[in-house]
Amino acid sequence: MKNIIIIGATSAMAEEVAKLYAAEKANLYLIARNTTRLESIINDLTVRGANTVHTSAFDANQFDSHEVLIEQAFETLGYVDVVLIAHGSLPNQELCQNDTTQAIEELNTNGISVISLLTHTANKMELQKKGNITVITSVAGDRGRQSNYVYGAAKGMVSTFLQGLAQRLNKSGVHVLDIKPGFVDTPMTAEFNKGALWAKPDKVAQIIKKRISKKSSFSYTPAFWFIIMTVIKFIPKFVFTRLKL
Ligand SMILES: NC(=O)c1ccc[n+]([C@@H]2O[C@H](COP(=O)([O-])OP(=O)(O)OC[C@H]3O[C@@H](n4cnc5c(N)ncnc54)[C@H](OP(=O)(O)O)[C@@H]3O)[C@@H](O)[C@H]2O)c1
C-alpha cells in the first residue's frame, strides 16, 4: 500500500493522479488552498478505494508554513513513497511586464514556493533513503518566449533545481522526476481554444504515474512534446527573436 503526498491537490492533473493511486488503495495526504474543493475530492477518492485521505490547507506563497506542513504530512504517513508538487498559476504576461509586484507573485507561486517545498521534502526523503519526488513544471521552461517568459522563467528555474536535486539524492536512493506537460485541458487553460496538441488531464496523470514507477528523471508529457521542444530549442537565436511565439 503506497503513501502519497500531493501538494496542489485540487489541480486537475493532480486530482487525476490521486484517483489512480486511490484505486490502488493508497494512503493519500492532500495539500491544497481550496478547502471546499478538497472536501469533495476526499469523498470521491474514498469511494474510489483510497485507504485513508488526510488533508491540509495551504497557500503556496506563505513560505514560513512549508516546513511544518511537510513535517506533519511525513509524520502522519510515517513512510512516504511519492511526493507530487502540482500547484501553479498561469500569469498574465502583459500585466507582469508592467507590474513587478504581480511578476514577483507569479515567480513565487510557480518557482520559489516550489523550491521551498522541495527543500523541506528533499531533506525528509534523504533520511528515508527511498522514495520519489515529482514536480509538474512545463515545456515553457525550456526556452523563454515573449508570450509567457515570466511563467517560463519560474518553471525553468524549478527544472534546473530538480536536475541538481536529482544528482544530490541519487546516492540516497531517492528519485526525482520533472514532468513537463505541453498543453493540457484544465481550469488553468479554460480560456484557450483547444486543438490537436492538447491532452486531457487523465491521460497526463497516467503518464505521470507510469514515469514515477519507471523511475524516470524527466518526461515531456505527452512524449511528442520532446520533439516539439527539441526543434524550438535549436532554432537559432537570430531567427527565434523574430518569431511571434
Ligand atoms: N494546463 C496546462 O496546459 C499546463 C501545461 C504545463 C504545465 N502546467 C502546470 O501543471 C500544474 C497543474 O496545473 P493544472 O493544469 O492542473 O491547472 P489547475 O487545475 O488550474 O490547477 C492549478 C492549481 O494550483 C493551485 N494554486 C495556484 N496558486 C496557488 C497558491 N498560491 N497556493 C496554493 N495553491 C495554488 C490551484 O489552487 P486553487 O484550486 O485554490 O486555485 C490549483 O489547485 C501547474 O503547475 C501548471 O503550471 C499546466
| Atom 46 in ligand 1: residue holding the nearest Cα | 88
Position of cell 508529457?
221
The rounded Å distance from CA 77 to ligand 1 centre is 24
Query: Is there a contact between 154 and 105 (Cβ–Cβ < 8 Å)?
Result: no
Write down the pLDDT at residue 244: 87
Write down the pLDDT at residue 48: 98
Determine if ligand 1 sits within 6 Å of the CB of residue 199: no
Position of cell 511519492?
82
DSSP summary character for residue 49: T
The rounded Å distance from CA 8 to ligand 1 centre is 7
Give the other-Cβ count within 10 Å of 120's Cβ: 18
Nearest atom within ligand 1 for CA of residue 89:
27
Domain 3-240 in this protein, CATH class: alpha beta
Close Cβ partners of 242 (under 8 Å, ≥ 6 residues apart): none
Give the other-Cβ count within 10 Å of 26's Cβ: 23
User: Ligand 1, residues 93, 186, 207: which to mutate, most atoms within 8 A of Cβ?
Assistant: 186
pLDDT, averaged in runs of 10, over the chain (245 residues): 97 98 98 96 98 98 98 98 98 98 98 98 97 98 97 98 98 98 98 96 98 97 97 96 91
Determine if ligand 1 sits within 6 Å of the CB of residue 188: yes
Query: Is there a contact between 206 and 20 (Cβ–Cβ < 8 Å)?
Result: yes
Distance from C-alpha of 177 to C-alpha of 188, rounded to nearest angstrom: 22
| Atom 37 in ligand 1: residue holding the nearest Cα | 33
User: Ligand 1, residues 17, 33, 38: which to mutate, most atoms within 8 A of Cβ?
Assistant: 33
Give the other-Cβ count within 10 Å of 2's Cβ: 17
Write down the pLDDT at residue 61: 98
| Atom 22 in ligand 1: residue holding the nearest Cα | 11
DSSP-derived 3-state class of residue 17: helix
Distance from C-alpha of 156 to C-alpha of 139, rounded to nearest angstrom: 9
